[in-house]
Amino acid sequence: MPREVDHRAVRPYADHLGDGLVQMSFTLPVPYSLAARKAALELAAKMGFQEPEVIHYEQLTEGYTYFVMYGRCVQSVDFDALQGEGFDIEYMTEDEIERFAEEHLGRNVVVVGASTGSDTHSVGIDAMLNLKGYHGHHGLEGYRFFKTYNLGSQVPNSVLLAKAIEVGADAILVSQTVTQQNLHVQNLTELVEMVEAEGRRGDMILACGGPRVSNELAKELGYDAGFSKGTEPHHLATFIVRELAARVAATG
Amino acid sequence: MSKLDLDPGVVAACRQAATRIAEQVAEQIAGRTTLSVERSVTRLLGVDGANALEVPLPNVLVDHVHERGGLGRGIAYWLGNAMIQTTSSPQQLAEAVSAGELDLLALQEAEEPAIHERVTSECAARLREIAQRFDERRAMRERLGDGAAPLRYVLTATGDVYEDVVHARAVAEGGGDIVAVIRSTAQSLLDYVPYGPTTEGYGGTFATQANFRIMREAMDEWSEQHGRYVRLSSFCSGLCMSEIAAMGAWEGFDNMVNDALYGILYRDINIVRGLIDQRISRMINGYFGVVINTGEDNYLRTADAIEAAPSVTASQFINHQLALDSGVPDSQIGLGDAFEIDVPVKNGLLYEWAQAQLTRELFPDCPVKYMPPTRHMDGNLFRTHAADTLFNLVTIATGQGIQTIGVPTEGIFTPHIHDRVLGLQNVGYVFNAAHDLGEEIEFKRGGIIQTRAQQVLAGAHELLERIAQTGLFGAIEDATFGDVSRKQDEGRGIEGIVSTEPGYFNPFVELMREASYA
């Protein structure tokens, strides 16, 4: 008899249900030695893993040792409680988005985007905005009902906001691709503060994206939405037109 | 012998077009110098340090002359004159100017030939001093042994030079042959080079002369201990590309990324400024035997790798000619190429193979620098590691000169210390397991690989003929490279271009043009 998954208490699955096995790797700044191995085991135990095992360890350079480990996670989460929150969005296709925009908005949606701060990578914002798009889906520039401005990379938040105000943007998109030491959080927060200081927060949708951005993080920082890895341009477009339509409906 | 059955007539036509394009560039940038070129002259003359406001003395000196309207004659003229009038060294002169005790333009002016002679002999002495350091370095490299091609080029990018040393040791231990410290992302737009050791930077560590020295000492120590020479590289790019070349010369850096086009396209640096700086920057690298790397690989991060392949090849022809014109020999021109076709593309590996082989056959004597997949690497580090394995296979089988190693955590953050070591281990397995594969392989006549290479070459030829008509500046404006458009009269650093006056001279250019030290 196959066992039923208990969604009220789920834990990692590796070989069979409930085993809780987690793979992890890290480096400790200690010399490669038996003591180093013990340190890794003890650390994993302190993290709460049962039966931690070091399956590989090696010296990176003098005084630094790298570990690959397994451990059994005994914690669990209540998946049923999370499912009610309804963050699984049904995305529209490009055609559906165009029809939706025509029907509910009847005008161009103006979007300004940039990769901000010290981030030199424009790959994320280009994938969302440029005609070529991503994974065979056009970027927003290719939609009839979108007017887009892609400011590129290393754009100061102040420049991005000034442009958004100048062109009467409906939405600002911020991309943070490769960042260090959580600089992206600081950068994203600064923009929200600036938009609020200008008294424009209510006029614009603020969205951000990047491999280390999540919807939860974005909302916590004061954005309307955050888009992570795997986002395609029509996902973003769906969100923008729906959100704008909702705002139009709300203000009558 | 060509494995790709390339038409020698097409190849020759590409070279001729590139020569015409480079000639036009030389004409378009003639009669001008830049603030950073003049600062490089002071740096090669040994000027170093910063004032109380942390303004580097080369900036203090050059700005002093520029503000007084004298830079059209070149900083060397004013320094030469001041050396005659005061008997001070360039460093002492810079300090006096910085302290407000000396106005270089208020001094009595000696006869022009006397000034030329005084400053030229000073410049020649400094070149000999630097050359001697390179002699010692070359001896060390020969004694300890340089790695065999493809050299494994590994980045570090912690922001803290002392952490970079730890990462650099680990990658040396993992088999890395060249360590390059990525610069802090904001640095390319600074019109000065920061001074002193730095421990804060984002996406990389500031290139400063002190940081160069710290890395050099650490790697020399490692090389001696382990009996294998580890090369160092940095970036001659951004608004200070010629100054970085001068600093690298003093500190004995073996390799340098050196490509103005990257800054022009991706940092919006003015085209003219970038190409003037590049010419001098490459001249310095060329003279001291430093291997330069060009940045064609970057176009494929913003343009589609299959469609844009001819633009990469065309750019290699142009970059090759521009480097030759700056006095860099083939053995020091590491043209750029990259493995950037999206992983799910059917037969993508065959197209990559064709492109990599094509680059090798077109530039057989250049240590081509081959770059790993980055654009489509999305955070699934196991998939990236698998893609890197294919990349490593193409690298060894096509005999690239330098390989920037792929790292599993590409596209997530600046990779961690063990990520780089894992990348190197992958390289090690593949280079060893497929060591002589390239020697065993021939391609099917008229097959996918030959056909693809011939198509890319034909596309490059067409593009080069078009660029020869419009000029390189026009081509950049038309978004020929990386899908990015830049105009000739726009961009950062444009205010730092200075028209030269009759009597302008740069003694280093004269000296370095005469003979390569290397």
Mean pLDDT of chain B, nearest integer:
94
Report the residue from A61, A123, A132 with minimal CB separation from B166: A61
Q: Which residue has the higher pLDDT, B402 or A180?
A: B402
For B353-389, how does the pLDDT look when each residue is reduced to its tens digit (9 = 90+)?
A: 999 999 999 999 999 999 999 888 878 999 999 999 9
Q: Which residue has the higher pLDDT, B195 or A138?
A: B195
With cut-offs at 50, 70 and 90, classify the pLDDT of residue B184. Answer: confident
Per-residue confidence (pLDDT) for residue B31, from 0 to 100: 96
**Interatomic CA distance for residues B109 and B132, integer angstroms:** 33
Query: CB contact, 8 Å: A154 with chain B?
Result: yes
Q: Where do the CATH 3.30.30.60 domains begin and end in chain A?
A: 1-86
Domains and CATH numbers, chain B: 146-441 (3.20.20.440)
Q: Where do the CATH 3.40.50.280 domains begin and end in chain A?
A: 90-251
Q: Which residue has the higher pLDDT, B461 or B517?
A: B461
Q: Which residue has the higher pLDDT, A176 or A67?
A: A67
Query: CB contact, 8 Å: A61 with chain B?
Result: yes
For B51-75, how does the pLDDT look when each residue is reduced to its tens digit (9 = 90+)?
A: 999 999 999 999 999 999 999 999 9
Amino acid at position A8, single letter: R
Report the residue from B173, B189, B202 with minimal CB separation from A60: B173
Please list the active-site residues of B: 262, 297, 369
The count of CB pairs under 8 A between chains A and B is: 77
Per-residue confidence (pLDDT) for residue A141, from 0 to 100: 87
A contacts of B378 (beta carbons < 8 Å) = 211, 229-230
For B226-251, how does the pLDDT look when each residue is reduced to its tens digit (9 = 90+)?
A: 999 999 999 999 999 999 999 999 99
Per-residue confidence (pLDDT) for residue B97, from 0 to 100: 98
The answer to which of A124-133, B197-206, B280-289, B311-320 has the lowest mean pLDDT is: A124-133
Q: Is the pLDDT of residue A10 over 60?
A: yes
**Interatomic CA distance for residues A16 and B69, integer angstroms:** 79
DSSP output for B226-248 = HTS--EEEEEE-GGGHHHHHHHH
For A90-251, give the CATH class: alpha beta
A contacts of B166 (beta carbons < 8 Å) = 61, 64
**Whole-complex ipTM:** 0.87
Amino acid at position B10, single letter: V
Q: What's the whole-number mean pLDDT along residues A4-13?
A: 94
Query: CB contact, 8 Å: A75 with chain B?
Result: no
Do residues B340 and B375 lie in contact, with contact meaning Cβ atoms separated by under 8 Å? yes
Per-residue confidence (pLDDT) for residue B166, from 0 to 100: 97
* Angstrom distances, CA of residue B438 to CA of A211, B398, B435, B442, B453: 37, 6, 8, 8, 17
CB contact under 8 A, B170 and A179: no
For B416-434, how does the pLDDT look when each residue is reduced to its tens digit (9 = 90+)?
A: 999 999 999 999 999 999 9
With cut-offs at 50, 70 and 90, classify the pLDDT of residue A248. Answer: confident
Q: In this structure, which CATH number among 3.20.20.70, 3.40.50.300, 3.40.50.2300, 3.30.30.60 belongs to the domain A1-86? A: 3.30.30.60
Per-residue confidence (pLDDT) for residue B388, from 0 to 100: 97
The answer to which of A132-136, B287-291, B331-335, B480-484 has the lowest mean pLDDT is: A132-136
CA distance A40 to chain B (A): 15
Per-residue confidence (pLDDT) for residue B335, from 0 to 100: 96
**pTM here?**
0.85
- Residue A132 is among the residues annotated as catalytic for this protein: yes
With cut-offs at 50, 70 and 90, classify the pLDDT of residue B448. Answer: very high
* Angstrom distances, CA of residue B24 to CA of A197, A224, B19, B477, B479: 51, 51, 9, 16, 19
Query: CB contact, 8 Å: A38 with chain B?
Result: no
Query: CB contact, 8 Å: B490 with chain A?
Result: no
Per-residue confidence (pLDDT) for residue B219, from 0 to 100: 97
Q: Is the pLDDT of residue A179 over 70?
A: no
**Interatomic CA distance for residues B313 and B300, integer angstroms:** 12
